[in-house]
Structure 1
Amino acid sequence: MGAPIGLRFDPDTKRRLDEMAEAIGPRRFGALIRVACRRLVTKPHSVGPALAEHRRLSEVLRSIPLVMVKIKLEPETVQEFAALAAEHGTTVSALMRVALHRFQEAPGRYKHPMLREAERTGLSDRVDVMITPSSRDRIRHLAGRYGDKLGTALLRVALRRLLDEPGDLAADLDAIAPLRDLRPEKYPATIKVHFDDPLRDQLDALAARVGSDRPELVRLAARRVLDQPGLIEHAVNDEIIRSDKHRAHLMARHARRQARRHSQLD
């Protein structure tokens, strides 16, 4: 076996893996992980779709809720904003998220337009929009460079830019409007597992093929073996005795352990 690889799992997956390994026999965790990975690399065509689905579900679970902001506008601007949303079959909130994304990508010279917005009158109407917390905080930061309470004025700058130059709104509504802030993925449960060089190379080759990395593939393999264990005990025991050099010794030791287990059960 090669040098051990540090792996990380969420606590629930680690607990379930521990329980499965302990049910097979003592010190079976590493062999269980290797079996799971060998099964994964033998079916490479199913890995890409499985990763995509896992990532989608992970984003849903880690999604941070949108926050509401209130924007004061002139009645005619409110009507123009609503008409643009209706034209594209979307909401003013989705349009505002696109506007803010574009603005943050290229804020340009916004100081004087923002200060003029702060002095604007006739803002008798109000629009409530839902945006990401990170966009709200970024706007506050940019506005705060030039004074207090300028965030709403800068929101209007971003909105007016969108109204003046809609561009390819359909594409941006598909790609940008659904985006959410995400909590970081957390895998606090750690363990080191030995991998032989061929298996390690197969995992790395598969990771390169599907745009992943070794830790993500191992976690996918672990989830699969938990959901579809099959003849996992035989597979793990076979993994234990894979080495020809120690095969006879390990088989004898395994037989003794199995005999002790059966005698204890009796």
Structure 2
Amino acid sequence: MGDPIALRFDPETKHRLEQMAEGIGPRRFGALIRVACRRLVTQPKAVGNRLAEARRLSHVRRAIPLVMLTLKLEPDTAQKFTALAAEHDTTISALMRIALHRFLETPGRYKHPMLREAERTGLSEKVEVMVNPSSRHQVWRLAGRHGDKLGTALARVALRRLLDEPGDLTRDLEAIAPVRDLRPETYPARVNVHFDEPLRHRLDALAARVGSDRAELMRLAAQRVLEAPGMIEHAVNREIFRSEKNKAHLLARHARRQARRRAPPG
């Protein structure tokens, strides 16, 4: 066996794997993981689809709720804002998330437009939009470089840029508006498992082919073996004696047993 690979799982998955391994026999955890990996690399059908679904579910679980941002606008600006949303069959919140994203991508020279915006009058219409916390934080941080309480003024600068130059909103409504801030993906349960070089190379090759990595593929492999164990006991026991070291140990034990049988009694 080669050097161990450090793998990380969520505690529940690790516990279920340990239970499955214990049901087969002592010290079977590493062999179980290798069996799961071998099944994955030899039967890679639908790996791409399963990864996409796993990532989608992960995003749903880790999504951070949107926060409300209240803006005061002139009546005609508010009307233009809602009309643009209606034209694209979307919400003003979705448009505002796009506006903030575009602004943060290329803030440009925003100081003087922001200061002029802060002095603007006639802002009698109040609109409430839902945005990502990180976008709001970054806009407020940029505004704070030039004074206090300028965050909403800078948010209006971002909105006016969008209204003046909508650009390809169809694309951005699909690619940007649905994006949410995500909590970090954490897998606190760590285990070290030895992999032989051929298996390691096949795993890395599959990861490269589907745009993944060892850790993500092993979590998928573990999930697959938990969902469909098949003849897992036979496969794990066969894996135990796969290495030359274990083969030699097994042959030596067999030879000792044969010698004891042939030895004269007494």
> What is the deviation of 1:128?
0.1
Tell me the residue number matched to 1:101: 101
Deviations 1:206-229 (A, max 9, x none): 001001111111111011101111
* Structure 2 Cα separation of the partners of residues 253 and 177 of structure 1: 65
Tell me the residue number matched to 1:45: 45
1:10 aligns with 2:14: no
Q: Percent identity?
A: 75
Tell me the residue number matched to 1:24: 24
1:198 aligns with 2:198: yes
1:71-220 to structure 2, matched below 5 A, reads: 71-220=71-220
Contact preservation (8 Å) 1:240, 1:250: no
Q: Which moved more, 1:237-246 or 1:222-231?
A: 237-246
SS at match of 1:221: helix
Deviations 1:123-146 (A, max 9, x none): 001000000000010011000000
**Unpaired segments of 5 or more residues in structure 2?**
255-266
Deviations 1:20-66 (A, max 9, x none): 11111110000000000000001223211111110011000000000
* Structure 1 Cα separation of the partners of residues 224 and 253 of structure 2: 29
Contact preservation (8 Å) 2:117, 2:157: yes
Structure exhibiting the larger radius of gyration computed from Cα positions: 2
1:246 aligns with 2:246: yes
TM-score (norm 1): 0.93
TM-score (norm 2): 0.93
Tell me the residue number matched to 2:58: 58
Distance 1:216 1:251, change over 3 A: farther
> What is the deviation of 1:241?
1.1
Contact preservation (8 Å) 1:114, 1:154: yes
> What is the deviation of 1:243?
2.5
* Structure 1 Cα separation of the partners of residues 12 and 230 of structure 2: 20
Matched letter for residue 70 of structure 1 = T
- Give the superposed CA RMSD: 1.4
Q: Which moved more, 1:238-247 or 1:193-202?
A: 238-247
SS at match of 2:237: helix
Contact preservation (8 Å) 2:66, 2:132: yes
Contact preservation (8 Å) 1:241, 1:251: no
**Unpaired segments of 5 or more residues in structure 1?**
255-266
* Structure 2 Cα separation of the partners of residues 78 and 43 of structure 1: 56
Deviations 1:73-100 (A, max 9, x none): 0011110000000000000000000000
SS at match of 1:130: strand
